[in-house]
Amino acid sequence: MAVGARSGHDEPEDRPDKPENIESAGAAADRAAGDGDTPNGGSTSQQKPRSFWKELPLLIGIALVLALLIKTFLVQAFSIPSDSMQNTLQRGDRVLVDKLTPWFGAEPKRGEVVVFHDPGGWLEGTPTPSPNAVQKFLSFIGLMPSVEEKDLIKRVIAVGGDTVECKKNGPVVVNGKALDDQSYIFPGNTSCNDQPFGPIKVPEGRIWVMGDHRQNSLDSRYHQELPGGGTVSNDDVVGRAIVVAWPINRWATLPVPETFDQPGINAQPGVVNAAMGLAPGALGVAGALPLVLWRRRRLTSGRTAG
């Protein structure tokens, strides 16, 4: 073979010691790695996603924790066991109760429908259901209304500091203002003919409650002989019922009737009179303060100049 003759190849000979050949080899290695190929021509196995059945217990656990947190701090479902709140609420209705706002110091307001624990003796003799294990669990995490707790649901009529009364054939009167309760009490009912009461001064931190079905409600009127005189402690209030969630054809919000927002119902003469007595003194101090400050400034300036 003649010197310099090509050995049967038309392309230049590749040499590993040339820079361009080194770069080509590196690029090829990178492509192989990107394609999942090993330098030996094999392939690396890709990580498979976890099976749905392996993820399911974790998902269920998270859902249960969230449900428990919502029931404890936000909203809880309650079932209406009696007819004492007709026609606002019917037996068997499911209501959602706001439990969040009490955590921020909110107190019950007049006209709200609230759920509260038995203050003691209100449900004496009332049979308590015996739920099975599944019902207990679902109730505990908030996916089912409470079935064991002795809770009641009524409308707040008066709050701490209010004076409330109702004479036979008369309306309920709060702080001297008559309530127009015909918009929410059971049709045909009187305001309190079955059990007149008052006047009663509601202690601070407590509420006076009544059912909307006045002639079928063992409310504050019927427990005046118990500690608290028929009133309920704000600490026993679970929260405000905000909506009827079930059945669907009964869905409705539970707003405060307008009669509880009438002008003057919040007026408390003792507080108003005290404020009026303090007003002249407060005005005198406000008027004298600028003169005192001006005089002090002049005296200070005079000392500095001397």
Of 250, 5, 3, 219, give the one whose Cα is nearest residue 116.
219
> 202 and 227 in contact (C-beta within 8 Å)?
no
> 238 and 99 in contact (C-beta within 8 Å)?
yes
Q: Which residue of the set 139, 154, 217, 220 is catalytic?
A: 154
Tell me the pairing of strands 177-178 and 172-174.
antiparallel
Can 84 be counted among the known catalytic residues? yes
What secondary structure does DSSP assign to 45-92, as a single string?
A: PPPPPPPHHHHHHHHHHHHHHHHHHIIIIIEEEEE--SSTTTTTS-TT
- In angstroms, how far apart are the furthest CA atoms of the chain? 135
**Tokens, residue 280:** 């002249």
In the chain, the amino acid numbered 226 is: L
Can 154 be counted among the known catalytic residues? yes
**Tokens, residue 30:** 């990178």
- Measured CA to CA, the distance from residue 236 to residue 120 in angstroms comes to 10
Q: Which residue of the set 84, 146, 191, 217 is catalytic?
A: 84
Of 239, 228, 153, 155, give the one whose Cα is nearest residue 189.
155
Q: Residues with Cβ < 8 Å from 164, sequence gap 6 or more?
A: 157, 158, 172, 173, 174, 198, 199, 200, 202, 208
The residues annotated as belonging to the active site are: 84, 154
